[in-house]
Amino acid sequence: MWQHTVRWSAALATVFAVAAAPAAAQPTAPAYREYVSLGDSFTADVLTAIPPATEFAPFNCDQSATNYPRLVAAALSVPVFRDASCGGAKTADMTAPQTVPLGTNPPQLDRLTRTTDLVTLSIGGNDLGLQELIPQCLSAAALLPGLPGAGGCAARRTATGRDPIETRTRATESEVVATIGRIRQRAPHARILLVDYLDALPATGCVPELPATDVDAAYLRAQLVRLNTMLADVAAETGVQLVDTFAATTGHDVCQAPDVRYVEGLLPFSARNPQLAAFPFHPNAAGAQAQARAVLDAIGRPA
């Protein structure tokens, strides 16, 4: 088991209400002084009814004041924190302006400086088209035995013998590798953490959270695993540190009990989402806390 320092134990306590550091411990300077978060809605969104109050929040990105980057920044007492993450972001939005309803945001990498010393990056889901794929695989009647036409998205996607997502995955891998290279150019002294996606989707459907046939649910889960495998390959290729939130959140998918799940389903009304403001198939408050724990745990390890 990794041995954490008092500083990291105290950092975790700040967010998750574990035991406080010993009273005799002397205050220490922050380990990191300038943290920039980059990513898509799995980074930005949790309880969107609580918008962030910061000059660095991008316009109309549905950022939450309780997303994992803000929890990490608070736990580490980082003096300078900029969260560039935005719902709908793709790898292209790292270096080009992202159009959002009623406006445009600058490229996410513009938030980096030569003094940035900590970066988290979570990207790729929208490049693969998971945000479009999930609705295609849902059917309100999918779990009614014998109903004609229920389900079938997996069969349709693989009818030609090659799933289009395979090609997208290869292209996205190259783009994420290139993104990490550009981060290093702009923030040459930064520690970079590549954060993967939570274990959100089980291999079987459930009503009403994931109304899909078991075949289609298993197909969706396979694409999530494909995405995370690709990110692990990128981390190995580029030498950045992978934060494995998938393994840390297994058993907390959308089909679990409301007080267990870390990701909301089609109807986001669980006890973990009291304000009914989490997006479907996105982390709830407990999910964001799990992401933050995984990041803080990774930071406590040797780089």
Note the residue count of the chain.
303
**pLDDT tens digits for 127-179?**
999 988 998 898 755 555 555 556 789 999 988 888 999 999 999 999 999 99
Residue 41: active-site member? yes
Residue 252: active-site member? no
**Which domains are seen in the chain, by residue range?**
6-16+30-129+173-200+238-299 (3.40.50.1110)
At residue 21 the predicted structure's pLDDT band, cuts being 50, 70 and 90, is very low
CB atoms within 10 A of CB 22: 9
- In three-state secondary structure terms, 206 is strand
What pLDDT does 63 receive?
Answer: 83
Residue type, 132: E
Greater confidence (227 vs 303) lies with 227
At residue 1 the predicted structure's pLDDT band, cuts being 50, 70 and 90, is very low
**pLDDT tens digits for 202-212?**
999 998 899 99
pTM given for the model: 0.85
Annotated active-site residue in 64, 77, 122, 282: 282
Annotated active-site residue in 9, 37, 41, 189: 41
**pLDDT tens digits for 289-300?**
999 999 999 999
How far is residue 135 from each of residues 119, 143, 154, 229, 252, measured CA to CA in Å? 32, 15, 12, 23, 21
H-helix or E-strand spanning residue 299: helix 285-299
What pLDDT does 28 receive?
Answer: 62
Computed from CA positions of residues 131, 222, 267, 83, in that sequence, does the dihedral angle turn out positive or negative? negative
In angstroms, rounded to a whole number, what is the distance separating the alpha carbons of residues 293 and 283? 14
